[in-house]
Structure 1
Amino acid sequence: MSSSAAKSLYAGYRFPAEVISHAVWLYFRFPLSPRMVEEMLAVRGIVVSHESVRQWALKFGQEFANRIRQRLPQAKNKWHLDEVAIKIAGVQHWLWRAVDQTGMVLDVLLQSRRDKRAAKRLLRKLLKRQCRAPRVMITDKLPNYGAAKREVMSGVEHRRHKGLNNRAENSHQPTRRRERQMKRFNSPRQAQRFLSAHDQIANLFHLRRDHVTAREHRAARARAFEAWANISGIAAAA
């Protein structure tokens, strides 16, 4: 990102890019409320209101997530799909999520139904975003996946087994933590907007610890921080 682009991104804000970027990173990276982020900044001598943190998250979260999506490597060819129930304002909704075999979140889609039509919407969104079909699709035994796959990507191998789909089921855990911290989502639109940004930012810092040395892990983490600096415009503004 050029220096002029970074300046235009933060134009009109009285806080420097470093503060805004750090606040947005804290909010999406960890299960923190805006008030908690406010306090974490205050301990560093930065006085900012929790409402400012919330507005920054709304303004910059999706923008940064879109830039991360453009930078991440292409998804692997094995996709795990799963859906989980979420209550919003007392009404049950279904959060559909797809991850690849490395645990990278491909996309999320909040819907009011858990039927064939909802499964087709997810598959079509994935194909449009990824620009290719997977080699293998792994799901639980919900029959709607098979019916949707036959119409959208019939040539893809489909494996149905609950035990095989632990990777997708585990990917819901950060959402559950955030849901508790936020005392449930206020609306479907808010949930979709938040999770779309949250999962992509989590992807950037999805650093595996198994089968790597401490030095390799620290090097990967440093690269993720460097990428975040470029994505959020800190590097260009410095």
Structure 2
Amino acid sequence: MILKLIVPGRGSLVASAPPSYKGHRYPVEIIAHCVWLYHRFPLSFREVEELMLKRDVLVSHETIRRWCLKFGQSYADAPRRRRSRPGDKWHLDEVCIKINREHKYLWRAVDAAGTVPDILVHNRRDKAAAKRFFGKLMKATQSVPRVIVTDKPRSYGAAHREAMPSVEHRCHKGLNNRAENSHQPTRQRERAMKSFPSVGGAQRFLSASSGISPHFRPRRHLMTASDYRAEMTARFAIKEQVTGAAGQPTTT
């Protein structure tokens, strides 16, 4: 089944069918809304449960957790497929995060428009980890950048010389604020959760979140209020299509 959607200023968007909800007793709109709330805002499953209770929807936090595990990544992948390839200038950065009381590293790439092509959660911050991240990025985007911008760690330079020697490498801490700023939502989530439970759990959550949350974070400071509202209307229309909630009655 192929779906087609026309949204303001976007032309036609063609995508595969939304995920199957067979066997789920809750309406698609409720499932999609809970998953969106969890990945868009720094909320716990119990806080999402409370918000839904305010709407007279009785659903347990454990059910919401299972929905996020089952549908979160597919909801994230669909907006990514609608985007054009990331720009040819990638900002790369790594940040230390706490997982089960141990320090691990989150590697993230951001293009000039603020799009996050991919992320990697890894135990280390060395050449092997950087090289693996480069390979993951190129595989996910099916492209090679013109230039990468990183800060000072030597691991980037060593991995760059082996993995993508033809790409220009600019190493300067002051040039990499875009990537460093992209970590802020992760920090908010980390504080809310007190730490991530496992490396695999952090990878799954952050991979889904990096596709869902930025979709609803247009560059507001560059828009008028009317343009911002039109852009968000278009993005919510995309969300309804990819989740299968389009045409479903609204829950009050």
TM-score (norm 2): 0.90
Q: CA deviation at 1:205?
A: 1.3
Corresponding residue for residue 107 of structure 1: 118
CA contact under 8 A between 2:126 and 2:155: conserved in structure 1? yes
Contact 1:72 1:204 in 2 (8 A): no
Q: 1:178 aligns with which of 168, 189, 198?
A: 189
Pairwise mapping of residues 65-144 of structure 1 onto structure 2 (< 5 A)? 65-144=76-155
Matched residue of 1:83: which SS? strand
Give me the whole-angstrom Cα distance separating, in 2, the residues matched to 1:29 and 1:91. 26
Q: What CA deviation, in whole Å up to 9, does each residue of 1:49-103 have, x standing for no partner?
A: 1111111111100111122221122101110000011121222211100010111
Alignment-derived partner of residue 28 in structure 1: 39
Give the number of aligned pairs.
236
- Equivalent residues of 2:101, 2:195 under 8 A apart: no
Structure with greater helix share of residues: 1
Asked if the contact 1:2/1:236 (under 8 Å) is kept, the reply is no
Q: Which amino acid aligns with 1:150?
A: R
In the alignment, which residue of structure 1 is the partner of 2:212? 201
Within the alignment, does 1:15 sit opposite 2:26 as a pair? yes
> Paired residue for 1:147, among 115, 138, 158?
158
In the alignment, which residue of structure 1 is the partner of 2:13?
Answer: none
Which runs of structure 2 are paired with 1:51-70 in the superposition (5 Å)? 51-70=62-81
Unaligned runs of 5+ residues in structure 2 are 4-16
| 8 Å contact kept, 1:20–1:56 | yes
SS at match of 2:110: strand
Is 1:187 the equivalent of 2:204?
Answer: no
Query: Quick one: distance in 2 between partners of 1:2 and 1:130?
Result: 23
Please state whether the residue corresponding to 2:222 is helix, strand or coil.
Answer: coil
1:180-233 superposed Cα distances (whole Å, 9 cap, x missing partner): 111211110000000000010023112111232111110100010000001101
Identity %: 53
Write the distance in 2 (CA, Å) between the matches of 1:132 and 1:34.
Answer: 36
In the TM superposition, structure 1's runs of 4+ consecutive aligned residues that sit over 2 Å from their partners are none
Aligned counterparts of 1:91 and 1:74: Cα–Cα separation in 2: 35
Aligned-pair CA distance for 1:10: 0.9
* Stretches of structure 1 lacking an aligned partner (at least 5 in a row): none
Mapped to 1, the partners of 2:57 and 2:166 lie a distance apart of 55
